[in-house]
């Protein structure tokens, strides 16, 4: 894997306030990277610097090896930015909007027409191509915003809170689009303070607070970092005290016990690493597994544990 985005010691100050405080971050090609944090954490400022819209006060950011400071045009060409505020023209039709952005990115002629239709189809607005966005719902406007950002098939797509205040249908459409764009080869950076969205679609998550990256990793890694426990529940065809004893003595298992009706619960750290060991013990004692459930603490709990504050109540 190659890092497509590299923040190196990035600083942004407004007056004397460190809005982005020595941010170091690498995002690999092919990731859906979630940038999570409460309002004012510095997410939009970081994204703004990455997109060349805000100057840096220190450090550097590279995209595909090009520096935003010395080669901003190279960087911008690789990026599709879906900004938090809608960046569409209400007096142009949907098609004219997407065409405008396609031309900005240098598309011309037949290719331009193809890509515009493709982008409108992708966001489910091809049948509304001739309508002006003033007649669209909030969710449709956001989808048009996405079409404008992806029409040039960028390597890196940045979405800044794209689902704020929209209907569930458009929200699901957008989340599904993110997955599809990623499958088609784009790396995605997705900022949000909706933890459920980040948990559902992101392969890795960076948690920002007060201008700093306070944690970064897969959900499993973040849980480990915060020292949180996962609960595994196994429904078995029979219970075997010796098997339970062996499970209890596995490293990383904090607690294992029967809760009756053939169900045993295991409280552990890093459940992915010990699952094989537990299944091996069942096999050794000839115990059949009927069902298994895994309950994990969410990002909200994790944020609380890392900062002592809630993500939502900022």
Ligand X SMILES: Nc1ncnc2c1ncn2[C@@H]1O[C@H](COP(=O)(O)OP(=O)(O)OP(=O)(O)O)[C@@H](O)[C@H]1O
List of residues contacting ligand X (CB under 6 A):
14, 19, 37, 39-45, 193
Supply 236's token pair.
């078995």
Give the residue with the Cβ less far from ligand X, 19 or 163. Answer: 19
Give the residue with the Cβ less far from ligand X, 45 or 186. Answer: 45
Strands 156-160 and 79-82: parallel
Give the residue with the Cβ less far from ligand X, 53 or 111. Answer: 53
Task: Show Cβ contacts of residue 58 under 8 Å, excluding neighbours closer than 6 positions.
Answer: 9, 10, 11, 22
Give the Å distances, CA to CA, from 305 to 59, 172, 225: 30, 29, 10
Give the residue with the Cβ less far from ligand X, 10 or 107. Answer: 10
Query: How many C-beta atoms lie closer than 10 Å to residue 237's C-beta?
Result: 11
Q: How many CA atoms lie within 13 A of 247 on its CB side?
A: 30
Shortest CB 39 distance to ligand X, Å: 3
Shortest CB 30 distance to ligand X, Å: 25
Shortest CB 28 distance to ligand X, Å: 22
Give the residue with the Cβ less far from ligand X, 64 or 211. Answer: 211
Give the residue with the Cβ less far from ligand X, 171 or 193. Answer: 193
Shortest CB 40 distance to ligand X, Å: 4
Shortest CB 201 distance to ligand X, Å: 18
Task: Show Cβ contacts of residue 207 under 8 Å, excluding neighbours closer than 6 positions.
Answer: 36, 37, 213, 214, 215, 216, 222, 299, 302, 303, 306
Give the residue with the Cβ less far from ligand X, 47 or 149. Answer: 47
Shortest CB 15 distance to ligand X, Å: 7
Name the residue number minimizing CB distance to ligand X. 44
Indicate the DSSP class of residue 30. Answer: T
Shortest CB 166 distance to ligand X, Å: 16
Give the Å distances, CA to CA, from 192 to 97, 221, 290, 295, 296: 25, 19, 37, 23, 20
Nearest 10 degrees: Cα torsion 235, 236, 239, 245: -70
Comparing C-alpha atoms, which of 209, 156, 174 is closest to residue 33? 156
């Amino acid at each position: 894997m190659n890092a497509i985005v590299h923040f190196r010691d990035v600083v942004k100050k407004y007056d004397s306030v460190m809005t982005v405080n020595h941010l170091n971050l690498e995002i690999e090609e092919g990731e859906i990277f979630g940038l999570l944090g409460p309002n004012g954490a510095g997410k939009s400022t970081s994204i703004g610097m990455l997109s060349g819209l805000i100057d840096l006060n220190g450090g550097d950011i590279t995209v595909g090896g090009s520096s935003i400071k010395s080669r901003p045009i190279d960087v911008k060409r690789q990026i599709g930015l879906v900004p938090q505020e809608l960046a569409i023209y209400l007096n142009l039709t949907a098609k004219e909007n997407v065409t405008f952005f396609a031309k900005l990115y240098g598309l011309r002629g037949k290719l331009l027409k193809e890509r515009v239709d493709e982008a409108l189809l992708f966001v489910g607005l091809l049948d509304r191509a001739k309508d002006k966005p003033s007649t669209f719902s909030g969710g449709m406007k956001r989808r048009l915003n996405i079409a404008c950002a992806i029409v040039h098939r960028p390597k890196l797509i940045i979405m800044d809170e794209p689902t704020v205040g929209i209907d569930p249908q458009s929200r699901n459409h957008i989340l599904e689009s993110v997955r599809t764009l990623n499958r088609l080869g784009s790396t995605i950076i997705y900022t949000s303070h909706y933890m459920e969205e980040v948990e559902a679609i992101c392969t890795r998550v960076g948690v920002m607070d007060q201008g700093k990256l306070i944690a970064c990793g897969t959900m499993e890694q973040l849980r480990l970092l915060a020292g949180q426990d996962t609960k595994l529940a196994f429904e078995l065809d029979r219970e075997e005290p010796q098997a339970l004893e062996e499970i209890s003595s596995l490293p990383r298992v904090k607690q294992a016990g029967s809760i009756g009706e053939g169900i045993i619960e295991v409280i552990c750290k890093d459940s992915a690493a010990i699952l094989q060991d537990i299944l091996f013990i069942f096999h050794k004692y000839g115990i059949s597994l009927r069902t298994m459930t895994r309950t994990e603490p969410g990002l909200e709990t994790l944020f609380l544990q890392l900062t002592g504050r809630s993500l939502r109540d900022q």
